[in-house]
Homo-oligomer: A and B are copies of this chain.
């Protein structure tokens, strides 16, 4: 059974705070192992990749078999069901259209001192995309990571995906092709992250690594951060649904279960203005759990971390939602726009009862890589900006330097940075000398 809370209860604040601070993930400490793996790949390159792939994936490779060739991709894609490839194509097209609007604008202007100021955005030159193998090898995640990189203008996008026992998901390769991935390597784990960060004879190093992975992959990403950029380290998935009584309890139950089925550590919360509706949703969840394929996982998540919270009004729901700062937020209420306007912290908002969260996982257009574990308070989902960087620009004229240079000299001296000041003084002296002529 999930937790039932009511904002009117005297112990509500205590119980709600406990819900917020519940520790949902207990990652194994694999850091020492990962450090060894990274050192091995740095020292022995391809040979280390081959040994580690033999060990962890039971797959024998040679240097020229590390890469998956275009012919192999062709052959795999040909085995993928046509309706699935067509669905991927629709998804790719919609994700691309959404992300193309995220391309940032450059700026240049002349300010009142006569100085030119501005900035310029440029793509990361090379990016690496980690794709898990096995059950969590999701083609949709390939689209969500690769398309923003390509829209940003990344010219070299290298993907790694482990092939345990040689098995690869054809749809993952189809998604890679649709997204414009440039290179694919059949390696995984910390060794693949190390290869992307430091390079080997076969795999050129990249500048940024994104994509989900297990505890080994996450630890490796943390370790190579600095040498390369990384995306966020995602925690277990979460959904918060705010619903009034004018909803089908079964729909809301399915929305809650669609996060719960990801992971036993996932969290699904319903906030409702109607306690009876909340109870009806709980009943609907139990009924769906009787037959759901992943009922063991979804049931554990719902039992351990699920919650149904009754509130007196939607304003209270909005306040609680901002304290949760949910990864996914569904607003199944009569006026979702009005409620949305009261929300400040959320990764993605799904407005109205015709927008189940699953639409956002696949074909909505927005990215499904979103901040978890309350980090929507300070971070955003994956976007084109994650594959770009900004260079600031400044060009002084003699007149501009005369106008602002003396203040720079004063501040440099106040900070005891003499050479900073002198670099301005020397130029101002030249200007004054020229004027005196």
Instruction: Report the copy number of this chain in the oligomer.
Output: 2
Contact mask for chain A residues 268-306; partner B; CB cutoff 8 A; 1 contact, 0 none: 000000000000000000001000111000100000000
Are B208 and A378 closer than 8 Å at their CB atoms? yes
> Bound state CA distance, A75 and B207, in angstroms?
49
Other-chain residue from B251, B398, B406 in contact with A423 (beta carbon distance below 8 A)? B251
Task: List, in ascending order, chain B residues with CB within 8 A of A343's CB.
Answer: 391
Complex Cα–Cα for A421 and B424 (A): 65
Q: When the two chains form the complex, which single residue of B88, B292, B361, B394 contacts A351, counting CB atoms closer than 8 Å?
A: B394
| Cα(A422)–Cα(B260), bound, Å | 13
Q: Is the CB of B362 within 8 A of A419?
A: no
Which of B94, B124, B349, B377 touches A393 (beta carbons < 8 Å)?
B349
The answer, yes or no, to whether A74 is at the interface (CB within 8 Å) is: no
The reply to whether A90 and B407 contact each other, CB–CB distance below 8 Å, is yes
User: A60-90 interface mask toward B, CB cutoff 8 Å, 1 = contact, 0 = none?
Assistant: 0000000000000000000001011011101
Given contacts A226-B233, A415-B140, A417-B258, contact A354 B410 (CB under 8 A): no
B-contact 0/1 string along A346-377, CB 8 Å cutoff: 11111111111111111111110011010111
Chain B residues near A207: list those with CB within 8 A.
Answer: 377-378
A125 contacts across to B, CB distance below 8 A: 344-345, 377
Name, among A262, A366, A367, the residue most crowded by chain B CB atoms within 10 Å (CB to CB): A366
Q: A125-B377, A294-B419 are in contact. Are A430 and B348 (CB under 8 A)?
A: no
Query: Given A378-B228, A391-B346, A411-B91, does the pair A358, B251 have CB atoms closer than 8 Å?
Result: no
Asked if B84 and A98 sit within 8 Å, CB to CB, the answer is no
Contact A395 B355 (CB under 8 A): yes
Given contacts A292-B419, A294-B418, A408-B359, contact A336 B375 (CB under 8 A): no
Q: Would you give the 0/1 interface string for A204-241, flagging 1 where the beta carbon is closer than 8 Å to chain B?
A: 00011000000000000000001011000100000000
CB distance from A20 to the nearest CB of B (A): 12
Interface size on A, residues (CB 8 A): 123
In the complex, what residues of B have CB within 8 A of residue A229's CB? Answer: 375, 377-379
A427–B420 alpha-carbon span in the complex (Å): 66
Q: Is the CB of A366 within 8 A of B117?
A: yes
Pull 19 A–B residue pairs with CB atoms less than 8 Å apart, ordered by A: A87-B410, A87-B414, A91-B407, A125-B344, A139-B414, A139-B415, A248-B426, A254-B419, A261-B419, A293-B418, A298-B419, A345-B391, A348-B392, A349-B393, A350-B395, A354-B401, A363-B408, A378-B389, A381-B392
Q: Given A348-B391, A358-B423, 6 other A-B contacts at CB below 8 A?
A: A288-B419, A354-B396, A358-B420, A360-B394, A376-B389, A381-B392
